[in-house]
Amino acid sequence: MSDLQSGVTGLCLLREYPWNRFQDDSIRITEVFQESTVLLVSRAHPLGDRDEIRMEELRKESWIVRAEAHPVVEVLQRSAHEAGFEPTIGFLANDYQEAQAMVSVGMGVAMVPKTAVALQHPDVRVISLGSAAPLRRVLLAQRQDKVYAPAEVAFHSTLLEIARERAGDYL
């Protein structure tokens, strides 16, 4: 973010959840899309045949989360606390593909933003968390006081066009 504020970077993508809204009057933000959070389980998991599940049903699960204080850890903790339990974190993954691999062999379950399973492991099921699923907004950020280069303008419009075409894929 500091590169954007200093002008080194012309634009960047940000993510925000309802509890940490981005606010900086010097930065122009455009919502690209909203996406829901989903549950990942192995196909062999007892919940593997479900299409939707409530967080309250997941209190005894062992969770796989992203390492290094990744924001998805806070999403899991907030969701679990709202459902009345403290999540048991069993494993840390370096990225979403590693988390899916761990889920696929039954090491635990994971909560991820829906775009994290654009490349879905064949032994992983994606299950909706229903209306209680945390939503995150993906934003395009640019400095307010800058004259945008033609490439930035083209990227901005192309990104929004693709997001509009795929809007239903994220929720």
Given pLDDT bands bounded at 50, 70 and 90, which one contains residue 1? Answer: low
* Average model confidence (pLDDT) across the chain: 92
Given pLDDT bands bounded at 50, 70 and 90, which one contains residue 30? Answer: very high
Dump pLDDT digits (tens) for 36-67. Answer: 999 999 999 999 999 999 999 999 999 999 98
Number of H helices, E strands in the chain: 4, 7
Contact 92, 66 (CB under 8 A): yes
Domain of residue 26, residue span: 1-171
Which of 11-25, 28-42, 82-96 shows the lowest mean pLDDT across its residues? 11-25
CATH code, domain carrying 34: 3.40.190.290
18 pLDDT higher than 80: yes
> Burial, 159: exposed, middle or buried (Cβ in 10 Å; 0-12, 13-18, 19+)?
middle
Dump pLDDT digits (tens) for 112-155. Answer: 999 999 999 999 999 999 998 999 999 999 988 888 889 989 99
170 conformational bin, left if phi > 0, alpha if psi -120 to 50, beta if neither: alpha
> Helices (DSSP H) in the chain: which residue ranges?
2-6, 71-82, 96-104, 150-165
Contact 63, 70 (CB under 8 A): no
- pLDDT for residue 84: 97
Supply the pTM of this predicted model.
0.87
- pLDDT for residue 52: 97
What is the number of domains present in the chain? 1
Two tokens, residue 149: 């280069």
Given pLDDT bands bounded at 50, 70 and 90, which one contains residue 99? Answer: very high
Mean pLDDT, residues 88-116 taken together: 96
